[in-house]
């Protein structure tokens, strides 16, 4: 079924890849910062690159934060990717202290306490484990670019985990109709596209 998918434009996103991925899956991609248009979408994606604080400021300034919170309660699928995933949590310690959307309980923290000479940010393909009923179902490789990670309070909401150096972290989360992933499914080849398709259809 062809869906009208809203992609939130914060003015700091690189939206080319996610736009292409949506169209590849046979859906309409509507890139916008207009609250009313986005809220009518059958699925909503919050992508993002850059700093948590600035993105949070843009969301609040344009009242996109209020719209996203309403949308999360609508029953329609909401997906956060990379920075968009982190923004779904209560707060972040990235270059200060900033409040997020509080759709998931948890904090965004810096990747630290790593092995000596670890190279930050975490950039590249990483083996990622997918869980079902707290058991590893299978794993695949996805593409990451980040220096901070989300730490959910509710461990049962963790959908996927990965490892950077000696640090295991949450790489995807799910609660009802809401998904978030730290990696970029739209840049992760066939595995990423297939996973994005499952997110959109709320099939995982």
| 42-60 pLDDT, tens digit each | 999 999 888 999 999 999 9
Contact by Cβ (8 Å): 17, 187: yes
More confident residue, 42 or 117: 42
- pTM listed for this prediction: 0.94
Residue 14 or residue 100, greater confidence:
100
Instruction: Give, rounded to a whole angstrom, the gap between the first and last alpha carbons of the chain.
Output: 17
Segment of 47-51, 100-104, 136-140 carrying the highest mean pLDDT: 100-104
- Nearest to 47, CA basis, from 157, 184, 149: 184
CA torsion through residues 121, 124, 127, 130, sign: positive
- Strand partners for 123: 145
Q: Report residue 44 as tokens.
A: 């909503």
Q: Which two tokens mark 7?
A: 């992609």
Query: CATH for 4-201, among 3.40.50.10320, 3.40.50.2300, 3.40.50.880, 3.30.200.20?
Result: 3.40.50.880
Alpha-carbon Rg for the chain, nearest whole angstrom, is 16
**Catalytic sites, residue numbers:** 82, 184, 186
Q: What is the pLDDT of residues 152-181, one digit of tens each?
A: 999 999 999 998 887 889 999 999 999 999
């Amino acid at each position: 079924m062809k869906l009208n998918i809203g992609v939130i434009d914060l003015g700091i996103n690189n939206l080319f890849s996610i736009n292409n991925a949506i169209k590849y899956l046979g859906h309409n991609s509507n890139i916008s910062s207009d609250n009313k248009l986005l809220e009518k979408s059958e699925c909503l994606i919050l992508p993002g690159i850059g700093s948590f604080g600035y993105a949070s400021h843009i969301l609040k300034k344009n009242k996109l934060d209020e719209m996203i919170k309403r949308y999360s309660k609508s029953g329609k699928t909401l997906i956060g990717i990379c920075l968009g995933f982190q923004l779904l949590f209560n707060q972040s310690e990235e270059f200060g202290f900033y409040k997020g959307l509080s759709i998931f309980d948890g904090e965004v923290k810096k990747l630290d306490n790593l092995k000596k000479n670890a190279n930050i940010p975490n950039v590249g393909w990483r083996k990622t484990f997918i869980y079902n009923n707290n058991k590893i179902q299978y794993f695949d490789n996805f593409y990451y670019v980040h220096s901070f990670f989300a730490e959910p309070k509710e461990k049962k909401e963790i959908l996927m985990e990965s490892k950077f150096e000696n640090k295991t972290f949450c790489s995807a989360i799910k609660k009802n109709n809401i998904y978030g992933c730290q990696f970029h499914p739209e840049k992760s080849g066939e595995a990423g596209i297939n996973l994005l398709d499952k997110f959109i259809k709320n099939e995982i």
